[in-house]
Structure 1
């Protein structure tokens, strides 16, 4: 059975060693510490969102989830969902950077969708985990495109209806991708073929679980953001007494 080593997170975690598999990469820890300094120094628009983003980045990159995502495609999809649907909007709230302007909503939503589909196609997915530069290219393009999209969604000049349509479109394309993964007749992600057996799950079942997570679980942050946008819009329209 074929097995490909995930370059950055290391060998696939097994149940016996999962909680020992913390990532102590000094460059990563330095980057998180630098971001924490920026947030704590008052350069963040929303300090709580900044700290929450740092905490979630520690979960996906430092905690044993990193090693587990070497073993299971479902863990990798969970990692990506946290990155683009939780970390990215929090960073967009913490660092909106209005001075650089806001790109049009449609192109950034479309670009993010293309990258999500690209990095979850079997070939690019395996390549993205094969070397450390490819791994970080995958992570940074997913996070960066999601940050741009969420910035545009939260932009003060964006109409509520347009923001909601962007969120619905994102839910729709991720749901479609998740459905295709769920109903694929054979396992597609060879990087996890051998390691999933250690967790008592077949590669196909692991893939189906990943698709369900992308199809169902991933929509929750977007729905929550949509409700928050509607609530904020209604509050802004209330006449002053």
Structure 2
């Protein structure tokens, strides 16, 4: 059913969506990644390893979401940048609270609510960044980077396994549950936060280039 939904969405987008080749490439790449994350063997791996789940959530929010934001029509999202920065941060932290995370993995409806809310709040954040001023966009991305790093550090340095659904799965991969959790924290802390830092630096480069052109013109 999920594959059918992805194929239907792709067909609708290609027929009625934006016509630029870049937008089509962004959308098709995002759909391919969604298929990899949600219906491939990698999805099953995330049930065993929390570190794989960290990769899953980062790919969903920091790769798929900005690709979709770039592919969709450039319309301003309601609520503003500060709202979506805070809402996405809260959503990410809530779903990684151990009791809430355990509920998501024990109930299919809650699981898909987790996936949808992470993706949609991230999509709104990236779309809001597109429409914000460059300094505001940089600030929002850096704030998101900081919260990602904080969560990663918490998972890395906590000396106790926090996630009961991953108590046994890591053993088959030669990891203890704590080592798996620490690896997940490192993934969020370094490459995860790094994605937002790279995006912020890209905006900063555009901002400095614009200011330089303005100063040369005066």
Q: Could you tell me which residue of structure 1 aligns to residue 154 of structure 2? A: 180
Matches within 5 A, 1:1-241: 27-41=1-15, 43-44=17-18, 46-96=23-73, 98=75, 101-155=77-131, 158-234=132-208, 238=213
TM-score norm. by structure 1 comes to 0.82
Post-superposition shift, 1:41?
Answer: 1.9
TM-score norm. by structure 2 comes to 0.90
- Whole-Å Cα distance in 1 between the matches of residues 114 and 127 of structure 2? 20
Q: Tell me, yes or no, if the aligned pair for 1:119 and 1:125 is still in contact at 8 Å.
A: yes
Structure 1 vs Structure 2 CA RMSD: 1.9
Closer/same/farther in 2, CA of residues 55 and 222 from structure 1, 3 Å limit = same
- Measured against aligned partners, the alpha-carbon deviations of 1:20-42 in whole angstroms (never above 9, x if no partner) come to xxxxxxx1101110121133225
- Whole-Å Cα distance in 2 between the matches of residues 221 and 111 of structure 1? 19
Q: Tell me, yes or no, if the aligned pair for 2:77 and 2:124 is still in contact at 8 Å.
A: no
- Whole-Å Cα distance in 2 between the matches of residues 194 and 122 of structure 1? 16
Post-superposition shift, 1:64?
Answer: 1.3
Structure with the higher fraction of residues in helix conformation: 2
Post-superposition shift, 1:80?
Answer: 0.2
Q: Tell me, yes or no, if the aligned pair for 2:77 and 2:127 is still in contact at 8 Å.
A: no
- Measured against aligned partners, the alpha-carbon deviations of 1:123-144 in whole angstroms (never above 9, x if no partner) come to 0001011111111000000001
- Whole-Å Cα distance in 2 between the matches of residues 125 and 58 of structure 1? 22
**Which residues of structure 2 form unaligned runs of 5+?**
none
* Between 193-202 and 230-239, the greater mean CA deviation after superposition: 230-239
SS at match of 2:185: helix
